[in-house]
Structures are given as C-alpha cells and as structure tokens.
Amino acid sequence: MVIAKSTRIRTAKLISYMPVFGVLAGFRMSSPNEVEPYILRYIEKNNKVLDVGVGFGKNGYMIRVFNNPCYFVGSDIFRPYLKIVKYHRVYDDVVLHDAAVLPFKSDAFDACLASEVIEHLDKKAGVNFLNEIERVARKRVIIITPNKAEIREGALTPVGFNPWEAHKSSWAVCDFTRRGYKVYGIGFRFHHRFGKLGFFLNRLFTIFTSRLIPSMANELIAIKDLTK
C-alpha cells in the first residue's frame, strides 16, 4: 500500500536537510559510513531504485543527491520512519509493508537496496526476503547486514519504541555466497574488545577485510548481479 507520494524537489533544497538526517540516523542502528561508497558505486544513476527499510532516510538522502534515480521508492514497516522521509520528500513514493513479502511486481526496479534489514527477520523469513528482493530487482541486489549479528530486542527511537528493531537472526558470508552474492567486509568484527584502540583497528582492518577476509569484518555488504 502506497501511503504517500511526494514531488521531486531540487537537490539544493534536499542538501539543506543534511544535518537532520545526520543526527537522526545516529539514533538508529544504521550501517556505518564506510558502506556508503559501495552503495553509490553499485546503484547506477538514473535507475529505478527500491530502498527497503528506510529508517530516517540516511541512505535515501545520499542516493537522491548523488545518483538521482529516475524513480525512487522507500519502504519500511515502522510508520513513524515513513512520516519523516515523506516530510523531507526523499522518495517519490513511500510504502508501508512487511519486508518478508514485497508488494511489487517482478523486475519492477533496476536496483534494490536493503541496509540493516535482513537481521530483523527470523531465518526462514530472511530467506524468503532474499527470494522476494531478487524477484523485484531487474539488475542488482545490495544487502548490508552485521556479520553474525547478536540477537536483541526492539529499541526506543526518537519517534517511539520500535519493536521491529529487534535482531532475530544472524547472517554470515556463506549465507550469501551460496546464493551467488559477492561479499565485501567493513571493519573488524572484534573491535569492541580493544577499547579505544578498537576504533582504529576497525578502520585499519577494513583494508584487509574488504576483499580478502570478509568473515572477519564487522559489517557485510553482499551484492548480486542478476541475469534475467
């Protein structure tokens, strides 16, 4: 169900909202900033793009400004998040739905992004989600998730308690490679054990975990090019 449709706005106006997205995104367990070059690199300009699990619109804002999709849809199951991105007109349309079933036609989008989404589903629903997102994408799917995320409950956000922030499943490199994804890594999975030094180790290990040993990474970026 489409709950809002927004008109295009000038890039200059959207840029003025940057501080808002920066502050709000910090409250949500969003992906680290190091994943942004991958998102911009693998989502081509002037494409039809679906962003599943928009949160406060951090990724949507970035994609809108730098890649300028010809049609851009954002979706989430938490209505307060959609109200925020609707207000700032980040997306052409916003859709309220459960990620386990995507209410879109097959091959409806050139590229589909799901950042910090799949770990919020149980394993069975997560596998079905991968089937669904690969169905609605025509060219490429980009999945971003913590490497073997810890199970947790829902979380309090600036716009209310969100039960869907709970982590219900854990995903590893092999879960994606067996489906034909190329997996990159960001950061160092055990950085929290090293106190303040962990901050520097997290950045240093990105150099090595990105391509060589993503299994040691803190964050996984799984990319699949589709042949249809």
Map out the domains of the chain as residue ranges.
2-183+221-225
Contact assessment for residue 188 and residue 204, using Cβ atoms and an 8 Å cutoff = yes
* Local confidence pLDDT in tens for the 228 residues of the chain: 444 444 344 444 444 444 444 444 444 445 667 788 899 999 999 999 999 999 999 999 999 999 999 999 999 999 999 999 999 999 999 999 998 889 999 999 999 999 999 999 999 999 999 999 999 999 999 999 999 888 999 888 888 899 999 999 999 999 999 999 999 998 887 767 777 776 777 777 777 767 788 988 889 999 999 987
Cα–chain center distance at 144: 6
Distance, CA of 1 to CA of 104 (rounded, Å) = 10
Q: Which residues of 137-154 are buried (b: 16+ CB within 10 A; e: fewer)?
A: bebbbbbbbbbbbeeeee
| Strand 137-146 versus strand 182-186 pairing type | unpaired
2-183+221-225 sits in which CATH class?
alpha beta
Entry pTM: 0.84
